[in-house]
Amino acid sequence: MSKALVWLRRDLRLHDHAALHHALRSHQDVWLVFIFDTTILDPLLIKGLGFDRRVDFLWQCTRELDENLRSQGSGLLVRHGDPKKLIPELAEQLQVDSVLCNHDYEPSAIERDQFVATTLAKKDIHFEHFKDQVIFEKTEVLTNSQTVFSVFTPYKNAWLKRLTPADLEPHSCELSAKGLLARFAPIPKALEQALPSLESMSFRPTGIEKYLPPGAKGAELFLNDFLKRIDQYNIGRDFPATKGVSYLSTYLRFGNVSIRGLVHEAHRRMLAGSLGASIWLSELIWRDFYFMILANHPRIANGESFKPDYDKIEWETGTKAQKLFKAWCDGQTGYPLVDAAMHQLNQSGYMHNRLRMVVASFLCKDLGIDWRWGEQYFADHLNDFEFASNNGGWQWASSSGCDAQPYFRIFNPITQSERFDSDGKFIRRYIPALEKLSNKSIHAPWMAGQIELEAAGIILGKDYPLPIVDHDEARKNTLIRYNVVKKVA
């Protein structure tokens, strides 16, 4: 009787799961394991991020999976430590023939998996891995000259041209499905361990479940709600005060929902004429695009600009830079839309996509701060943080990435505010001090008249900061700063 261990990482679900499907198809006894990886978690603790919503979310997801598996006579093996050590140990203790998992594309994860594979091979245990978190990976979508794309639109066109129904076929994990003769095997008593508590791992509850219910059940709730609105996605997606986006990014990041299922639904509705579904499908293809870029250009994981010439840019440094950066982090720049967006991130771990572009442009092109600082701040605070998309977004905003906005395109934070939060509803939600300002003045309080400020009970510099930089001056400085790349942009 062959046995298999499925190693869950970014794929916390029991449906449409490539590695689990293959394990159930090829083995009789199957166990599942999730490792709270100390090589990832310990650096968070060093930074003082014991209050981390993502760890809490993950912990609640593992609890849901464990309950589901126990109802089927098994359970989820959950450990806290280094997977390079724990996975081979568990595989040997369970006497499995194979360890199966899904691909990860970050260089550190690839190195980890290679180490585990080598260790398992010495024990005559197979290590198998599968494509699961993207539709097309690595070099599956190439230009006509068989090179890697670096511009999104032709990539998207080639992606859509290559897409077939087979690419979106779900990987069945139902034990009663045809061809699946396996079972979720009981956990041996010697290996039974209680789910480690957050506190035992030096983390603490965050309350994330109040607005982001964990696991596959949470993902299903949000997906069903979004599908009622998907046809209007093209209209509402840019306005942060409205319920216009899917809010599925965290579930997609941790694999509570299948990318194949999402693309199938978006593609089906696009073919039926839904513009909203078409635009949403483009967003999902952007995700594949950034994973492809990372897989083919792993140097970007070392902090390098995709366009090497952009590493010549001289960013602000020293005490001035630190002061500006802190104001940005704390939502104290004096530009309401920027500040409201940062408050949203700091309070919830979420930021609307339009606002991610606004605050990123502001950091790089108004404050002259290295995009890597912002990239790391997002990495520390976003619930849906995923390296490829985060890096891609920041390099897009700073103009250093593939298919990025031109260096001379600089978002005006006031214009963006007037256009995408015209009545100031979003700003008022996160900056109540500005609540009584008019819809016109709320986008630039320093331009309001003294009578209006007094009527609103606002003293600039006390109740709300004055702008830390003049946008028009900053724009001029940015164009000078980018002169080093002007000829190659």
> What CATH number has the domain bearing residue 268?
1.25.40.80
Residues 420 and 451 occupy one common structural domain? yes
Instruction: Check 371, 373, 383, 386 and give the catalytic one.
Output: 371
Burial of 331 (0-12, 13-18, 19+ CB in 10 A): buried
Does residue 206 fall inside a structural domain? no
Short-list 79, 116, 102, 90, CA closest to 3:
90
Strand segments, DSSP code E, in 393-454 are: none
Residue type, 93: Q
For 383, the token pair is 């619930």
Does residue 195 fall inside a structural domain? no
- pLDDT tens track for 289-327: 999 999 999 999 999 999 999 999 999 999 999 999 999
Short-list 260, 261, 292, 267, CA closest to 281:
267
- Continuous segment of H or E residues that includes residue 45: helix 38-46
Residues 6+ apart with CB under 8 A from 351: 341, 344, 345, 359, 378, 382
- Give the side-chain half-sphere CA count within 13 A for 189: 0
Residues 116 and 258 occupy one common structural domain? no
- pLDDT tens track for 60-84: 999 999 999 999 999 999 999 999 9
State the pTM of this model.
0.96
Short-list 134, 99, 121, CA closest to 19:
99
pLDDT confidence of residue 403: 82
Task: Please list the alpha-helical segments (H only) found in 228-335.
Answer: 233-236, 249-253, 259-271, 275-296, 318-329
Residues 6+ apart with CB under 8 A from 430: 331, 339, 340, 341, 343, 344, 347
Residues 339 and 440 occupy one common structural domain? yes
Q: Residue 1 — pLDDT band, cuts 50, 70, 90?
A: confident
Q: Is 159 a catalytic residue?
A: no
Given the structure tokens 């982090």, which residue do they identify? 329
**Which residues constitute the domain of residue 279?**
133-170+216-296
Residues 14 and 35 occupy one common structural domain? yes
Q: Is 371 a catalytic residue?
A: yes
Number of compact structural domains in the chain: 3
Residues 324 and 435 occupy one common structural domain? yes
Residues 333 and 479 occupy one common structural domain? yes
Q: Which 3 state secondary structure label does DSSP give 338?
A: helix
Q: What is the CATH number of the domain that holds 470?
A: 1.10.579.10
Residues 166 and 228 occupy one common structural domain? yes
How far apart (Å, rounded) are the C-alpha atoms in residues 41 and 231?
Answer: 39
Instruction: Check 59, 280, 394, 396 and give the catalytic one.
Output: 394
Instruction: Check 137, 315, 346, 477 and give the catalytic one.
Output: 315
Residues 351 and 287 occupy one common structural domain? no
pLDDT confidence of residue 489: 46
How far apart (Å, rounded) are the C-alpha atoms in residues 139 and 117?
Answer: 23
What rounded mean pLDDT belongs to the chain? 96
Q: Are 324 and 316 in contact (CB under 8 A)?
A: yes
Among 72, 103, 132, the domain boundary falls at 132
Among 296, 325, 341, the domain boundary falls at 296
Instruction: Check 7, 31, 280, 286 and give the catalytic one.
Output: 286
Does residue 211 fall inside a structural domain? no
Q: Is 31 a catalytic residue?
A: no
Does residue 85 fall inside a structural domain? yes
User: Given a cut of 60, is residue 439 above it in pLDDT?
Assistant: yes
Does residue 191 fall inside a structural domain? no
Q: What is the CATH number of the domain that holds 8?
A: 3.40.50.620
Does residue 184 fall inside a structural domain? no
Q: What's the whole-number mean pLDDT along residues 424-442? A: 98
Does residue 324 fall inside a structural domain? yes
Using the CB atoms, write b or e for 229-249: b if 16+ within 10 Å: bbbebbeebbbbbbebbbbbb
Q: What's the whole-number mean pLDDT along residues 113-142? A: 98
Residues 6+ apart with CB under 8 A from 72: 175, 184
Q: Is 157 a catalytic residue?
A: no
Q: Is 7 a catalytic residue?
A: no
pLDDT confidence of residue 178: 73
For 293, the token pair is 């870029």
**373-379 long-range contacts, CB within 8 A, separation 24+:** 373/325, 374/328, 377/329, 378/345, 378/351
Instruction: Check 234, 346, 353, 477 and give the catalytic one.
Output: 353
Q: How far is CA 172 from the centre of its chain?
A: 26
Rg (CA), the chain: 24
Residues 67 and 158 occupy one common structural domain? no
- pLDDT tens track for 368-387: 999 999 999 999 999 999 99
How far apart (Å, rounded) are the C-alpha atoms in residues 134 and 396?
Answer: 21
Q: Find residue 126's DSSP bridge partners.
A: 98
Residues 245 and 315 occupy one common structural domain? no
pLDDT confidence of residue 175: 85
Task: Please list the alpha-helical segments (H only) found in 362-412.
Answer: 371-381, 387-398
Residues 403 and 471 occupy one common structural domain? yes
Does residue 181 fall inside a structural domain? no
Q: Is 286 a catalytic residue?
A: yes
Among 132, 147, 180, the domain boundary falls at 132
Rounded (5°) CA angle 288-290-293:
110
pLDDT confidence of residue 487: 57
pLDDT confidence of residue 95: 98
How far apart (Å, rounded) are the C-alpha atoms in residues 416 and 336?
Answer: 11
User: Given a cut of 70, is residue 460 above it in pLDDT?
Assistant: yes
Instruction: Check 128, 283, 418, 452 and give the catalytic one.
Output: 283
Residues 276 and 312 occupy one common structural domain? no
